[in-house]
Copies of this chain bind each other. A is one copy, B any other.
Amino acid sequence: MVTATNSLELRLDRLLEEDEARGLDATLITSDESIAYLTGFRPIQLERFFGIVVSAERSAVIVPALDRGQIEEAPRRLIPISYGAESDGIPELVETLAGARTVGVEEDHLIYARARALAQQGFELVPAGSVVMGLRIAKDAGEIERIRSACELVEEGLRRAFEWLAPGAVEHALNARVEAWLREQGATVAHPLILFGENAANPHADPARRELRLGDVVCADLSVCLDGYWGDLTRCATVGAPSEWASAAWQVVLEAQRAAIAAAQPGVPGRDVDAAQRQIVEAASGLGACLHGAGHAIGLSIHEPPFLVPRWKEPLAEGTVLTIEPGIYKGGLGGIRLEDDVVVSDGGPEILSTLPLELVELGR
């Protein structure tokens, strides 16, 4: 991912303004995606501490010595600090934060052990994930183009997957083949989840050594990270003509997706987008269960706020990119889900993919 250094500097400026407006002495950024957003580099964290401290006093990027080669391109304002194998990085963090009292943290990423260590040093931690997320949520034009490019790769992956699908194809091997193809095209991460028949009734099933058979539905969910940004689409197919259940479930999900996309307008609470699909899917409960919300935002992370679920009251912001992905699931039979990535915009929802909305009929 290459982002112009001046745009990174602007992001730091905005974060600092937000911090000051909230009375925070400093903010500690620890998630992979927020670190990437502010520096252009995405760490391999494992058990090691990586952090960015942003404050009017002293801003820094702290990494293990192992990774110091990665931060050479970070904005100049961030003092590069690396720590050796004798440290866990916390003493360097505490020293960088010296003088601060209230420290904003990414509460959905910072682990309890580090939060506790900071509290014991007298810092008052304040949940501030929404501060940096508030910046990340509205994508700029360059970010939207990257998500569109990721979607294009997913579309091509779905086309190939459906070409490669024929009775006898093994679920696990097909997923590996699609993943390999996506990675060869430049995806830094690729997560195909292409499920056959009754496996598709469990949205997070593991692909198995199960062969595709006549009469199966196929639920094909592909996500890739390309140049730092994710795309995530789902299409479905049947082997041979669709059963009565598959046709009916498809129509319900198609209608639910249309309704949820139409509802995805700036200012609308996330839960209203969910409600738009939920009432349609739940009204068809004879066809299966509504197991999840309408979708989630996407960007540097595959799943990021806002989440389109009943508990999400905050209004959608212009420039947010959402997956809209209603589904219906019937144990023993299968699942149908339909997913596109959509920009929330004053001009109306913009769908970033161009793949037809059809229940693909695979040759026997």
- Contact segment of A18-26, A62-70, A255-263: A62-70
Q: Which of B66, B125, B180, B186 contacts A203 (CB 8 A)?
A: B66
- Residues of A288-314 at the interface with B, using a CB-CB cut-off of 8 Å, are 291-293, 296, 302-305, 307, 309-311
Q: Is A225 an interface residue (CB 8 A)?
A: no
Q: Which of B109, B172, B274 contacts A111 (CB 8 A)?
A: B109
Q: Given A66-B292, A112-B115, A116-B107, A44–B307 Cβ distance below 8 Å?
A: no
A110 to B205: give the CA distance in the assembly, Å. 24
Q: Is A87 an interface residue (CB 8 A)?
A: yes
Q: Is A95 an interface residue (CB 8 A)?
A: no
Instruction: Say whether B110 contacts A66, CB under 8 Å.
Output: no
Over the window 327-353 of chain A, the binary record of Cβ atoms lying under 8 Å from chain B Cβ atoms (1 yes, 0 no) is 000010000000000000000000000
Over the window 96-111 of chain A, the binary record of Cβ atoms lying under 8 Å from chain B Cβ atoms (1 yes, 0 no) is 0000000001011111
Contacts of A141 in B (CB 8 A): none
- Residues of A12-46 at the interface with B, using a CB-CB cut-off of 8 Å, are 43-44, 46
A310 to B105: give the CA distance in the assembly, Å. 28
Q: Is A143 an interface residue (CB 8 A)?
A: no
Q: Is A362 an interface residue (CB 8 A)?
A: no
Taking CB as reference atom, which chain B residue is nearest A205?
B69
Taking CB as reference atom, which chain B residue is nearest A183?
B176
Q: Is A202 an interface residue (CB 8 A)?
A: yes
Instruction: Say whether A204 contacts B70, CB under 8 Å.
Output: yes
Instruction: Say whether A183 contacts B186, CB under 8 Å.
Output: no
A88 to B115: give the CA distance in the assembly, Å. 21
Contacts of A310 in B (CB 8 A): 84-86
Contacts of A4 in B (CB 8 A): none
Contacts of A173 in B (CB 8 A): 184
Over the window 131-148 of chain A, the binary record of Cβ atoms lying under 8 Å from chain B Cβ atoms (1 yes, 0 no) is 000000000000000000
Instruction: Say whether B184 contacts A177, CB under 8 Å.
Output: yes
Q: Is A127 an interface residue (CB 8 A)?
A: yes
Q: Is A244 an interface residue (CB 8 A)?
A: no
A36: shortest Cβ distance to chain B, in Å? Answer: 12
A247 to B198: give the CA distance in the assembly, Å. 56
A149: shortest Cβ distance to chain B, in Å? Answer: 17
Taking CB as reference atom, which chain B residue is nearest A177?
B184
Q: Is A163 an interface residue (CB 8 A)?
A: no
Can you list 11 contacts pairing A with B, beta carbon distance less than 8 Å?
Answer: A65-B292, A66-B203, A66-B291, A67-B204, A69-B331, A108-B112, A108-B113, A112-B125, A113-B127, A180-B183, A180-B184
Residues of A within 8 A of B (CB): 43-44, 46-47, 64-67, 69-70, 84-88, 105, 107-113, 115-116, 125, 127, 129, 172-173, 176-177, 179-180, 183-184, 186, 188, 201-206, 274, 278, 291-293, 296, 302-305, 307, 309-311, 331
